[in-house]
Chains A and B, each alone.
Chain A
Amino acid sequence: MNRRVVITGVGVVCALGHNRTEFWKALSEGRSGIRPLVSIEPGLLRFENGAEVPDWYPLRHFDDKESGLLDRFAQFGVVAAREAVADAGIEWTRELKEETAIVTGSCVGGQTTEDEGFVSLYRKNIPRVNPLTIPRTMENAAASRISLETGIVGPTYTVSTACSSSNHAIGQAFWMVRSGSARMAIAGGSEAVFSLGFLKAWEAMRVVSPDTCRPFSKNRKGLILGEGGAMLMLELLESAQARGARIYGEVVGFGMGSDAFHITQPSPDGAARAMRAALLDGGLKPEDIGYINAHGTATQANDATETAAIRKVFGKHADRLQVSSTKSMHGHTLGAAGALEAVATVLALRNGILPPTANYNEPDPACDLDVIPNQARRAQVEFALSNSFAFGGLNAVLAFRVSGF
């Protein structure tokens, strides 16, 4: 039996907009959401730009009590999930709620709330912190809130594998639906990174660009941090067809693995293994793939290593691939990255427009792929990969398809 899993709803909140329409418009125009930081006082950091969600007013989405219970990262996840669920137009029954899964990814959960507590405690000498700090901070806060709001009571959990978190989450949810251990799933991830304490830690890593994010460009200077959330509604093809749902695309394969190489330096072998595993899981040949939404962080190490990994897996076909890093527009949202990029990939295939690598201005022989520089491109592509490679050497790759149903 060939059980196929399709995407029938998507939702997004990020620097490019508060919904999937704004998100896609910016991506297809090659417009970057990287701007001077507004949440951090200027002059406190060696870098000054980020991809913050603009004009975010929690009370537009939550009442007073709800918003007090939710850190910014959970708010992004919940709002994205609401959009995905509404988009899918599912008629919920009690049975369906019992058989639907929620799997979210987040790298640092409610660290912004934690940071505020530490400022009160250590700097202002206030001897008590917000009593909601624990429920706001937990990495599963978004998953739990989505469950509470929707009444979905099936398998619900959160994956935290740094920058691969939401690819792992979507991959696990995909496998659950494919295997029949869940009938449907809400899967994705969310992240809110902009607190001074956390940004100082990134500054110390010396991988954040002082200006902008230029993936695969020779003069790239590092990543640009971003925030946001994205969720996808997954269900079996026959269930989607039976209810006449709009089908965005299909998740066809998922592959994951570990580098066992170095805690922060990437390995081309590990990345290649995860891509091969995704192809194998989807029953695909390398030549089937037309587009890759790259991990493409714009660090010196990632982009060269990822290029080498793609060449290992695809051989001569690598020169026929179109590859872009949408992080050049929505920033690196860590635990939400895979989810934003899954939505970007599926919308790209569905609309026949591949989003570019923005801010690209200098070819690098170590990144000699067609990276769709600066301008979106019309192209009909049937199969695509979306790569996520995390600090800690944990890799997760999803394969998508956009036709055949």
Chain B
Amino acid sequence: MSNEELTERVRRIIATAQHLPEDKVTADSTFAELNIDSLDGINILFAVESEFNVNIPDEAAQAIRSVRDVVEGIAKLLAEGPGGNKEAVRA
């Protein structure tokens, strides 16, 4: 998957979760700009995990503050292979 495609999919997920028009969510948007609080954040990560079949560790999750952080995190997990963290997939 290209970085552009990944960014598009992440933008769409965030826009849907936050009930925002897609053009409001750019590759450079921060969560603060989009008014995403901690509870919204875990909802978005849940949607992202389901979409890409990955498991985002809590520590990485806490560091996520922007659309770019999500895209980079997912790219890294996908590079580690399908399912990301295997343990979570078993469950």
Complex Cα gap A210–B85 (Å): 15
Report the Cα distance A196→B85, complex, angstroms: 18
Q: Is the interface of B mostly helix, strand, loop or mixed?
A: helix
Is there an interface contact between B39 and A265, defined as CB atoms closer than 8 Å?
yes
Contacts of A300 in B (CB 8 A): 62
User: A222 — nearest CB in chain B belongs to which residue?
Assistant: B58
Q: Is the CB of A204 within 8 A of B46?
A: yes
Residue contact A200 to B37, C-beta cutoff 8 Å: no
Contact of A43 among B42, B58, B61, B87 (CB under 8 A): B87
Q: Are A44 and B61 in contact (CB under 8 A)?
A: no
A-B residue pairs, 7 tightest by C-beta: A44-B91, A43-B87, A264-B39, A206-B58, A206-B42, A206-B61, A204-B46
User: Which residues does chain A contribute within 8 Å of B39, judged by CB atoms?
Assistant: 262-265
Q: Are B90 and A46 in contact (CB under 8 A)?
A: no
Sort chain A's interface into a size bin: 10 to 19
B87 lies within 8 A of A210 (CB): no
Chain A neighbourhood of B62, CB < 8 A: 206, 300
A265 touches B38 (CB 8 A): yes
Q: Could you tell me the distance between the alpha carbons of A10 and B62 in the complex, rounded to whole angstroms?
A: 40
Known contacts A264-B39, A265-B38; is A43 also within 8 Å of B90 by CB?
Answer: yes
* Interface: B57 (CB within 8 A): yes
Bound CA–CA A206/B58 (angstroms): 6
Contact B58 A46 (CB under 8 A): yes
Nearest-CB distance from B44 to chain A (Å)? 12
B residues near A221, Cβ cutoff 8 Å: 58-59
Given contacts A204-B46, A263-B39, A265-B37, contact A44 B58 (CB under 8 A): no
Chain B, 5-62, CB within 8 A of any chain A CB: 37-39, 42, 45-46, 55, 57-59, 61-62
Determine if A210 and B37 form an interchain contact, defined as CB atoms under 8 angstroms apart. no
* Chain A 194-234 per-residue mask, 1 if CB under 8 angstroms from chain B, else 0: 00100010001110101000000000011000000000000
**How far does the alpha carbon of A249 sit from the alpha carbon of B49 in the complex, in Å?**
51
Closest to B41 in A: A206
* B42 to A, closest residue via Cβ: A206
A235 to B91, CA, bound (A): 49
Residues of B within 8 A of A44 (CB): 87, 90-91
Q: Nearest A residue to B85 by beta-carbon distance?
A: A46
- If the complex has contacts A200-B91, A262-B37, A265-B37, are A46 and B42 also in contact, measured as CB distance less than 8 A? no
Q: B36 → chain A, closest Cβ, in Å?
A: 13
Q: How far is the CA of A204 from the CA of B58 in the complex (A)?
A: 9
Q: Which residues of chain B have C-beta atoms less than 8 A from A262's C-beta?
A: 37, 39
Check if A86 is an interface residue, CB within 8 A of chain B: no
Contact of A46 among B37, B45, B46, B57 (CB under 8 A): B57
- Kindly report which residue of chain A lies nearest to residue B49, judged by CB atoms: A204
13 contacts between A and B (CB under 8 A): A45-B91, A46-B85, A200-B91, A204-B42, A204-B46, A205-B42, A206-B42, A221-B59, A222-B58, A264-B39, A265-B37, A265-B39, A300-B62
